[in-house]
Structure 1
Amino acid sequence: MSSLIHPHARFKPYHSAAGGWGSAHSVMTILWREQALAKSPKALFKQNKPDGFACVSCAWAKPGNPHALEFCENGAKATAWELTSLRTEPEFFARHTLSELRSWSDHDLEQHGRLTEPLRYDRASDRYLPVSWEQAYREIGQTLRRLSPEQVVFYASGRASLEASFMYQLFARAYGSNNLPDSSNMCHESTSVGLQESIGVPVGTVTLEDFEQTDCIFFFGQNVGSNSPRMLHPLQHARRRGVPIITFNPLRERGLERFVNPQSPREMLGPDSTVISSQYHQVAIGGDLAAVLGISKTLLEMDRVAHVEGRPAVLDHAFIAEHTEGFASFVEQINSYSWATLEQRSGLPRAAMEAAATVYARSERVMLVFGMGMTQHRHGVANVQMLVNLLLLRGNIGKPGAGVCPVRGHSNVQGQRTVGITEDPAKVPVDKIEALFAFKVPEQMGLATVDTCEGILAGSVKAFIGLGGNFLRAIPDTSRMEPAWANLELNVQVATKLNRTHLLPGRDGWLLPCLGRIEIDRQDGVAQSYSTEDSTGCLHGWRGTAEPASEHLRAEVAIIAGLAEATLTAGQANIPWDAWRRDYALIREAIAAVYPQIFHDMETRMWQRGGFHRPLPACERQWQTESGKAQFVTAGRLDEDDDVSVSPERRDVLQLMTLRSNDQFNTTIYGYDDRFRGVHGTRSVVFMNRSDVTRLGFVPGDWVNLRTAVEPDVRREVGPMQIIAYDIPAGCAAAYYPECNALIPLWHHAERSKVPAAKSVPVTLHPGQPSAQDLQRALAQGEQIV
């Protein structure tokens, strides 16, 4: 097939390191585009600082002794995106119907600027119309009182503070609902389930200090250069100390290859860069279990040979005997797999797994870092537990410089879980909540994200309240979910900017604009402070520094209080909503009363330099598991996604993983460039191995539609997309999230954690061409067509 010609090539391999001038240029570009040059530079000097605000973007740890500029490229983009001078005022909706806006891209919707006033959907005109806050609270409350609690979902994105999150879950439970899905359901819930069972805590055990003491780091399924760039600083320091970093990832990501520190004049002006990964193994999609078993198999053989030859043991047998359970079963599983099987499933040669094991064996303090490349599989929980098994073999949990480090996404997604945002009432201190607030916590299990989607499709979920986020774009099976969403009786969205979810309002849609995280939150004239928890289990206090985008905006705490007061009847609970709204310190007192072990003396400790860490018994080798020991857990089988496995004879099927570009954070699309992967001006691409491109009868640049290769009675298709020949294992493909979410069946999720299995979806390719309308829209939106 021939492709359309455009004078600007849109794919050109990127040869520079992560960071450097490319990062600096990208930051300046978005500051200019958002008309934020006046406000953003001042705010950036306060970002992730003890006297400033917590980054709107990722959840990576905030150091006690920060750099002069303690932000990364994506953090700066998030700040500019929030502090933009652009506005989406009621006049905008007078000019545009929602039907028209549904043809806009995700980028253009948010690019238009900050929402400024509360709005209600008017079906007759197909527009949002301005309303007062009092009317919004009153009428939403009336609808909620009419509905049954089990029909209502209270969703929370990861951006809400600990204070807002705590109030939100109390509101839902006092109302009578445990339907509290959050963004963790879409990413790291596999981590929470797997770590709790294996080592007795649902979060990682690594702190920033461990990076200074480690002598080996393993990376699995995480793209540090785009998703958590501030981590590159401790990685760079580790490499300069000679610490090996061993990476397993299907794609060669630039941030895990080379880095130039933008805060170092010497590096910026010189030719050198830091090599990050000392070994880089391009594991096949879904091959991580096999790769870890291969490393473990090598360690067992090395230990056997050492014993025969009278040399020191390779495994930490004393640790295994004293602190673990299930070792014999794990060894039996390892021995059941041949090297040929492990090579075939992992996509790696035996020598690669042996090389990784050799470095691991001679390292005394090993950290293991992983991301959603491990959790978003059918057996994502087993993936996490297999990584723990690898650490347990040499006692690498519970000593300085060692441990497990899941890299969470959104800024407070971990903290929300800590203060009660969970669908499982067994995970909250029910007795304390009931005693303090005088209401009965509902006993039934609530709805997580996948359950919520199933309920909307079935019609049993009637109302959805979204505390931030872009739920309809983040979930799987979007082509089925969007039509079902229209049947909701009530759709309430608390947001800073317009997004796709807001354009499907249901029968009664409300858009409630809130303060951004960077903005000063004054209640009755008094500036308030907040707290969040980062990826390392460290809790920090912070304050907004910028003036609000509109006088009509309200804080999330105030919005929750207003909705709760309008919904709950007298005597339904003893919760001082208005007092909490006026003074957030009172909310923190309540948090400490419900969770005293974690949050005692919170008001003082959250202002310590570097914050304070939640208790992590596993770090002290105290295992709060059923057996009282750390668990070796055996995986059922090597196929990480056996629910979508297809016959090996189906040579036309590729395993697709969804990924984020360098120019986005979660569902927020900052632009159409993916600098590190050499893509410019578009997101309509699919990355393929060059051999697969040829054998399937295509050439790079061809337009194709992607179609899910299972459940043929349900048509799941996206496109058209252009093929890019790329360095990715044969049989694998990659394309952007959230555009490809429509390809993921709702039922294709991790066992027990129900995280959508977005990292392995079987697809077939079919010739396609963009329509004239597609081309016109793409060119209008700034996309470039090759």
Structure 2
Amino acid sequence: MKPAVTDHVEIKKYDHPTGGWGSLSSLIRKAYGEGLLMSGIWSTLLKQNKADGYMCVSCSWAKPAEPRPFEFCENGAKATLWDQTKLRCGPDFFAQHSVTELLDWPDCELEKQGRLTDPLRYNAVTDRYEPVSWDEAFAEIGMELRSLDPKSVVFYTSGRASLEASFMYQLFARIYGSSNLPDSSNMCHESTSVGLPKSIGSPVGTVQLEDFSQCDMMFFFGHNTGVTAPRLLHPLQEARQRNVPVFTFNPLPERGLKRFKNPQDPVDMLSPGPGTKMSSDFFQVRSGGDIAAMTGIAKAVLALDDAAREQGNSRALDIGFIAEHTHGFAEFEAYLRAAAWDDIVARSGIARPDLEHVAEVYSRSNAVIGNYGMGLTQHRHGTENVQMLCNLLLMRGNIGKPGAGISPLRGHSNVQGQRTVGISEKPELVPLDKFAEFYAFEPPREKGLDTVETCEGVIAGSVKGFIGLGGNFVRAVPETGLIEKAWRRLGLHVEIATKLNRGHLLPGAVTYLFPCLSRLERDRQASGD
């Protein structure tokens, strides 16, 4: 029976802060809905984001050296509940529903069916997934892979996969002869991986957890912290309680960067007040106007430096740092001086006095963190957005010292980690010589396909096979309709997943759907772990 689908959307006004009692009650409702309210899931959650436990399957916020008793947020706990649901999606479900029928189901209803239980093969005659033995499945997939050019087969990885599984997966792909190892970071933070090395020489952020307790100002650009990294709200709340200015730029006035009550603080929870004000100033920047906003702040800092120099006061620019650790400042200065305030205001949507206020506070601050999310990176000018924020920080030497730095706030917790274990289409990022020496094979040395090139190859027909380790590739990429149409021409389509999603319902000539354990589960068999 097809789930009811409606275009009616009910929107309710929510006046409460992020966290608080609303967070706790929502978590209890979710546990009940997944059949886990009276289960052992609560002891599992006590190990989340701790040294002797496991990383959250939701966001990428790091494990602290001294964790709280409950080192998880509402969204992280919900992700674990979703992952550990008691609901099951086995062969009986697929016997009742054809793939064509399931394509009309909403995405959320597909995932609500629960965990996949058996290896399945798509039968084009019945238009259904049908049970198959592991041995038979592996034999046919091996035969198909042998018939294909390794350069035409893509091995995609989701950030939900464990590092151990990711390492083995990329090794398998390279032994097979393919460098086509795109991953979810291609779609979310590739701008970071490209922009940061050009600006600061490192592909990753420079901020450590302890820097948040030492900073005296923060920027937030394009990040909905209360939704995508709620555990960051704790150090952010502590900073605000120290009166650290926090300037937030976002087209969406998201609640987490406005007000917050800590669900783990009884005093905060019982307080009748509205919660901690999380942003000292919130600016609703125009969509795509981030570079203009940062240009305005930088231009105002330059003007403050001009005035300080004329009056013989302390400089607003860190001249020593700029001279010793940067290059190209003269060109950047010329760009700022040429930028017209009318253009800056029109493109950013923020008034000149507001940007000058931010610049004034910034010029007095000694340790500043620049936080940013996919509002900067998932953009036509994503690389330039990242580099402009770096430039703003470099003007005052806010790279490479305690309490300061660039802080890209990523999505899944293994997105960055997977790059460190070999999930990359770029050969220069992978220790290929070590692999060749240790495993006694010659890995391919050419650049493989990234996400965009994979999409182009699927549409053009040059990609013949796709193996997905988690994720929902077809739904995640742009031009979904175009990709879905071309996807059915694949010769081989294999998905390894915990739950059913729409991408699994687009069969190629040979299509398999495999269940797997999540990374917070142990593989216990008769022979042991």
Taking structure 1 as the reference length, what is the TM-score of the superposition? 0.65
Taking only aligned residues, the RMSD between alpha carbons, in angstroms, comes to: 1.3
Question: Following the alignment from structure 1 to structure 2, what is the Cα–Cα distance between the partners of residues 261 and 348?
Answer: 31
Match of 2:133 in 1: 132
Write the deviation string for residues 84-142 of structure 1: whole angstroms up to 9, x where unpaired. 11100111111111111111111111111100111111111111111111111111111
Match of 1:174 in 2: 175
Say which SS state the counterpart of residue 61 (structure 1) adopts: coil
Write the deviation string for residues 50-100 of structure 1: whole angstroms up to 9, x where unpaired. 222211111111111111111111111111111111100111111111111
Q: Does the CA contact (< 8 Å) of 1:299 and 1:361 recur in 2?
A: yes
Q: 1:64 to 1:33 in 2, by over 3 A?
A: same
2:66 is the alignment partner of 1:68: no
2:386 is the alignment partner of 1:357: no
> In structure 1, what residue type is equivalent to 2:322?
I
Q: What's the offset of the Cα at 1:396? A: 0.4
Match of 1:463 in 2: 465
Write the deviation string for residues 229-248 of structure 1: whole angstroms up to 9, x where unpaired. 01000000111111111101
Q: What's the offset of the Cα at 1:518? A: 2.2
Match of 1:535 in 2: none
Say which SS state the counterpart of residue 53 (structure 1) adopts: coil
Q: Any residues of structure 2 matched to 1:541-620 within 5 Å, and which?
A: none
Which 4+ residue blocks in structure 1 deviate beyond 4 angstroms?
none
Match of 1:284 in 2: 286
Match of 1:195 in 2: 196
Q: Does the CA contact (< 8 Å) of 1:17 and 1:259 recur in 2?
A: yes
Match of 2:429 in 1: 427
Question: Following the alignment from structure 2 to structure 1, what is the Cα–Cα distance between the partners of residues 207 and 165?
Answer: 27
Match of 2:13 in 1: 13
Question: Following the alignment from structure 1 to structure 2, what is the Cα–Cα distance between the partners of residues 355 and 15?
Answer: 28
Q: What's the offset of the Cα at 1:26? A: 1.3
2:329 is the alignment partner of 1:327: yes
Q: What's the offset of the Cα at 1:278? A: 0.1
Match of 1:116 in 2: 117
> In structure 1, what residue type is equivalent to 2:310?
V
Say which SS state the counterpart of residue 522 (structure 1) adopts: coil
> In structure 1, what residue type is equivalent to 2:99?
L
Match of 2:25 in 1: 25
> In structure 1, what residue type is equivalent to 2:32?
W
Question: Following the alignment from structure 1 to structure 2, what is the Cα–Cα distance between the partners of residues 460 and 523?
Answer: 40
Say which SS state the counterpart of residue 219 (structure 2) adopts: strand
Say which SS state the counterpart of residue 306 (structure 2) adopts: helix
> In structure 2, what residue type is equivalent to 1:30?
K
Match of 1:752 in 2: none
Q: What's the offset of the Cα at 1:523? A: 6.2
Question: Following the alignment from structure 1 to structure 2, what is the Cα–Cα distance between the partners of residues 508 and 165?
Answer: 24
Question: Following the alignment from structure 2 to structure 1, what is the Cα–Cα distance between the partners of residues 10 and 248?
Answer: 28
Match of 1:302 in 2: 304
Question: Following the alignment from structure 1 to structure 2, what is the Cα–Cα distance between the partners of residues 174 and 523?
Answer: 28
Question: Following the alignment from structure 1 to structure 2, what is the Cα–Cα distance between the partners of residues 299 and 240?
Answer: 27
Question: Following the alignment from structure 1 to structure 2, what is the Cα–Cα distance between the partners of residues 239 and 140?
Answer: 55
Q: Which has the higher helix share?
A: 2
Say which SS state the counterpart of residue 471 (structure 2) adopts: coil
Match of 2:3 in 1: none
Write the deviation string for residues 482-520 of structure 1: whole angstroms up to 9, x where unpaired. 111111111100000001011112111101110012212
Say which SS state the counterpart of residue 492 (structure 1) adopts: strand
Match of 2:512 in 1: 510
Match of 1:736 in 2: none
Say which SS state the counterpart of residue 509 (structure 1) adopts: strand
Question: Following the alignment from structure 1 to structure 2, what is the Cα–Cα distance between the partners of residues 265 and 295?
Answer: 39
Question: Following the alignment from structure 1 to structure 2, what is the Cα–Cα distance between the partners of residues 67 and 524?
Answer: 36
Q: Any residues of structure 2 matched to 1:359-378 within 5 Å, and which?
A: 359-378=361-380
Q: Does the CA contact (< 8 Å) of 1:39 and 1:83 recur in 2?
A: no
Q: What's the offset of the Cα at 1:9? A: 8.3
Q: 1:114 to 1:9 in 2, by over 3 A?
A: closer
Q: Does the CA contact (< 8 Å) of 1:53 and 1:518 recur in 2?
A: yes
Q: 1:9 to 1:170 in 2, by over 3 A?
A: closer
Say which SS state the counterpart of residue 305 (structure 1) adopts: helix
Q: What's the offset of the Cα at 1:36? A: 1.2
Match of 2:231 in 1: 230
2:40 is the alignment partner of 1:39: yes
Write the deviation string for residues 462-494 of structure 1: whole angstroms up to 9, x where unpaired. 100000001111111111111111111111000
Say which SS state the counterpart of residue 482 (structure 2) adopts: helix
Q: What's the offset of the Cα at 1:165? A: 1.4
Match of 1:107 in 2: 108
Say which SS state the counterpart of residue 304 (structure 2) adopts: helix
Query: Which is worse superposed, 39-48 or 394-403?
Result: 39-48
Question: Following the alignment from structure 1 to structure 2, what is the Cα–Cα distance between the partners of residues 267 and 283?
Answer: 31
> In structure 2, what residue type is equivalent to 1:367?
I
Say which SS state the counterpart of residue 382 (structure 1) adopts: helix
Q: Does the CA contact (< 8 Å) of 1:218 and 1:245 recur in 2?
A: yes
> In structure 2, what residue type is equivalent to 1:34?
E
Say which SS state the counterpart of residue 403 (structure 2) adopts: coil
Question: Following the alignment from structure 2 to structure 1, what is the Cα–Cα distance between the partners of residues 285 and 491?
Answer: 46
Question: Following the alignment from structure 2 to structure 1, what is the Cα–Cα distance between the partners of residues 397 and 450?
Answer: 35
Say which SS state the counterpart of residue 484 (structure 2) adopts: helix
Question: Following the alignment from structure 1 to structure 2, what is the Cα–Cα distance between the partners of residues 66 and 106?
Answer: 35
> In structure 1, what residue type is equivalent to 2:417?
G
Say which SS state the counterpart of residue 24 (structure 2) adopts: helix
Q: What's the offset of the Cα at 1:337? A: 0.9
Match of 1:396 in 2: 398
Residue of structure 2 aligned with 1:442, choices 434, 441, 444: 444
Say which SS state the counterpart of residue 156 (structure 2) adopts: strand
Q: What's the offset of the Cα at 1:438? A: 2.2
Say which SS state the counterpart of residue 82 (structure 2) adopts: helix
Question: Following the alignment from structure 2 to structure 1, what is the Cα–Cα distance between the partners of residues 524 and 232?
Answer: 33
Match of 2:258 in 1: 257
Match of 1:408 in 2: 410
> In structure 1, what residue type is equivalent to 2:122?
Y
Match of 1:664 in 2: none
Query: Which is worse superposed, 341-350 or 366-375?
Result: 341-350
> In structure 1, what residue type is equivalent to 2:400?
G
Question: Following the alignment from structure 2 to structure 1, what is the Cα–Cα distance between the partners of residues 54 and 314?
Answer: 50
Match of 1:715 in 2: none
Match of 2:80 in 1: 79
> In structure 2, what residue type is equivalent to 1:264?
D
2:482 is the alignment partner of 1:480: yes
> In structure 2, what residue type is equivalent to 1:31?
A
Q: What's the offset of the Cα at 1:350? A: 0.5
Question: Following the alignment from structure 1 to structure 2, what is the Cα–Cα distance between the partners of residues 419 and 44?
Answer: 27
Write the deviation string for residues 152-193 of structure 1: whole angstroms up to 9, x where unpaired. 000000011221111111111121111111000110010011
Question: Following the alignment from structure 1 to structure 2, what is the Cα–Cα distance between the partners of residues 25 and 472?
Answer: 34
Query: Which is worse superposed, 271-280 or 436-445?
Result: 436-445
> In structure 1, what residue type is equivalent to 2:22?
G
Question: Following the alignment from structure 1 to structure 2, what is the Cα–Cα distance between the partners of residues 46 and 150?
Answer: 41
Question: Following the alignment from structure 1 to structure 2, what is the Cα–Cα distance between the partners of residues 45 and 133?
Answer: 35
> In structure 1, what residue type is equivalent to 2:246?
I
Question: Following the alignment from structure 1 to structure 2, what is the Cα–Cα distance between the partners of residues 83 and 22?
Answer: 22
Q: What's the offset of the Cα at 1:39? A: 3.0
Q: What's the offset of the Cα at 1:524? A: 6.5
Say which SS state the counterpart of residue 47 (structure 2) adopts: coil
Q: What's the offset of the Cα at 1:429? A: 2.1
Question: Following the alignment from structure 2 to structure 1, what is the Cα–Cα distance between the partners of residues 312 and 174?
Answer: 61
Query: Which is worse superposed, 54-63 or 163-172?
Result: 163-172
Q: What's the offset of the Cα at 1:46? A: 1.5
Question: Following the alignment from structure 1 to structure 2, what is the Cα–Cα distance between the partners of residues 525 and 378?
Answer: 52
Question: Following the alignment from structure 2 to structure 1, what is the Cα–Cα distance between the partners of residues 244 and 107?
Answer: 41
> In structure 2, what residue type is equivalent to 1:416?
Q
Question: Following the alignment from structure 1 to structure 2, what is the Cα–Cα distance between the partners of residues 524 and 359?
Answer: 63
Write the deviation string for residues 583-617 of structure 1: whole angstroms up to 9, x where unpaired. xxxxxxxxxxxxxxxxxxxxxxxxxxxxxxxxxxx
Taking structure 2 as the reference length, what is the TM-score of the superposition? 0.97
> In structure 2, what residue type is equivalent to 1:95?
Q
Q: Does the CA contact (< 8 Å) of 1:250 and 1:284 recur in 2?
A: yes
Q: What's the offset of the Cα at 1:526? A: 3.9
> In structure 1, what residue type is equivalent to 2:16?
S
Question: Following the alignment from structure 1 to structure 2, what is the Cα–Cα distance between the partners of residues 491 and 118?
Answer: 14
Write the deviation string for residues 542-599 of structure 1: whole angstroms up to 9, x where unpaired. xxxxxxxxxxxxxxxxxxxxxxxxxxxxxxxxxxxxxxxxxxxxxxxxxxxxxxxxxx
Question: Following the alignment from structure 2 to structure 1, what is the Cα–Cα distance between the partners of residues 215 and 523?
Answer: 40
Give percent identity, aligned residues only.
60
Question: Following the alignment from structure 1 to structure 2, what is the Cα–Cα distance between the partners of residues 91 and 166?
Answer: 34
> In structure 2, what residue type is equivalent to 1:144?
L
Q: Does the CA contact (< 8 Å) of 1:462 and 1:489 recur in 2?
A: yes
